[in-house]
Amino acid sequence: MTAAAPVEAPHPDRCYLTVAEAARLIAPGELSPVDLTRDVLARIEATDGLINAYVRLMGDSAMREAESAAERARAGQRLGPLDGIPIAVKDLYDTAGVVTAAGTGAFRERVPAEDATAVRRLREAGAVILGKTNTHELALGGTTNNVHYGATHNPWKLDRVPGGSSGGTGAALAAGQALGGLGTDTGGSIRIPAAFCGITGHKPTYGLVGRGGIVPLSLTLDHAGPMARTVEDCALMLQVLAGPDPRDLDSVMREPDDYLSGLGQSIEGQRLAVIPSLVEGCAPAVTANFERSLDVLRSLGASIDSVEPMAGHGDWRGALAPLLVAEGASYIEEILRTRPQTIGESVRRRMAAGLDFPLPAYIRSLEQRKVVERCYEAALAGFDAYVLPTSPAVAEPIAEDPHTEPSPPFKFRNTSVFDHTHQPSLSVPNGFDEEGLPTSLMISGGLFADALVLRIGHAYQQATDYHTRRPEL
């Protein structure tokens, strides 16, 4: 690891600025990107011994990027609101000349020659790349209890998981170790860490953010997207991240929408749908906070009713099971067959099972995914968006054995649906349980309705303050 040695203790308020707040201070010269980056790096140095959010700091290059941003700010030539903003990058995204290991021993010395498309877009917007954050190995899991790089700890309660697989990014944001971050989401890996760490995370419409240069898990389900403290910050990041990516064969080759212009509009008259089967069985605090969230949305002028998109489809989830691990196994097939010891036991066992799925089962899984997408799109005919608890449970204790991972984890029940539907899905903090652990509200919309989903989430955050709370470290 390399990091510029801080001269003085970090300024905690700067470390917890939102992207939008920092941008408003940098533009008139009230805050230097150099001071901001130095403070965040100092915050990492002071707290990451507790959290283990980062596996690789890029402190020297971050300070150089901050100095360039400061020069542009002084000259009145800022590249946009992300110019000079410190950003954390999940260790699935390629960073030129810096190891991208995807959390596995198999890629411990993998040094890409170029940035992932999303990282390149951030750099072109002037963002300061702080380093690589811990991930569940090969993104296959929900704890970020990594056998190779150690467990990441939840800043709200250090003996709890931060969720996964983007747990390092979620924990870094909650701990004041970054202002924004990149995650990936195949079954909930942006939104579960957002929920467990009390931050905001957006899984965009499938193909909206290019995945070129991201180590894949399931190309049918993988999404790339922003994580931050607020919906506004996610919209600011999405404005830069969205767009065609020739390196991603599933990229939507169309110009993205404007995710900022309508963000502050009222949601009066919006019709929101609850799916009762995905509310049943939630922890009591999750249910109570969700009901309060519905009251907030009603107070903002939204109407709420119920719908079951998959009514009459029986065990529709069962047919989806082969998809993720069959595709994941195919990507690392050579490693599984020749160097299996480089992958941790739990992930290796699940991936190896993917090699044995019969082709007909995999094809049926692909077909079932399309059925689920069509049903969820059709059910929105009378609604504008779905609202649900992000996870039916709060963060569980970190297991002593890092190979322990529930399969399939109950906490992904609600989020994984929207990876299969390819629809945009947003997680925003909506309260805490009796132990002080965060809970979260999920807002999901129709394909390419990202701007609307963000608008509903932003309206909710304007009426609540859960996203402003900080853990005591």
Contact residues for 198 (Cβ-Cβ < 8 A; gap 6+): 156, 174, 429, 432, 438, 440, 466, 467, 469, 471
Q: Say how far apart CA 197 and CA 157 lie, in whole Å.
A: 9
Active site residue 157: no
Q: Say how far apart CA 285 and CA 434 lie, in whole Å.
A: 8
Q: Say how far apart CA 418 and CA 16 lie, in whole Å.
A: 30
For the purposes of burial, counting CB atoms within 10 Å of the CB of 239, is it exposed (0-12), middle (13-18) or buried (19 or more)? buried
Candidates 61, 165, 251, 444; catalytic one = 165
Active site residue 425: no
Candidates 61, 189, 425, 427; catalytic one = 189
Q: Say how far apart CA 447 and CA 218 lie, in whole Å.
A: 19
For the purposes of burial, counting CB atoms within 10 Å of the CB of 72, is it exposed (0-12), middle (13-18) or buried (19 or more)? middle
Active site residue 189: yes
Q: Say how far apart CA 105 and CA 89 lie, in whole Å.
A: 19
Cα angle value 125/130/131 (rounded, 5°): 120
Candidates 32, 61, 90, 425; catalytic one = 90
Q: Which residues of 288-322 are buried (b: 16+ CB within 10 A; e: fewer)?
A: ebbeebbeebeebebeeeebebbeeeeebbebbeb
CA atoms within 13 A on the CB side of 48: 25
DSSP state of 414: T
Would the CA dihedral through 313, 317, 322, 324 be positive or negative? positive
CB 54 within 8 A of CB 44: yes
Helix (H, G, I), strand (E, B) or coil at 231: helix
Backbone angles phi, psi at 66, to 5 degrees: -65, -40
Backbone angles phi, psi at 343, to 5 degrees: -115, 135
Q: Say how far apart CA 177 and CA 298 lie, in whole Å.
A: 35
Catalytic residues: 90, 165, 189
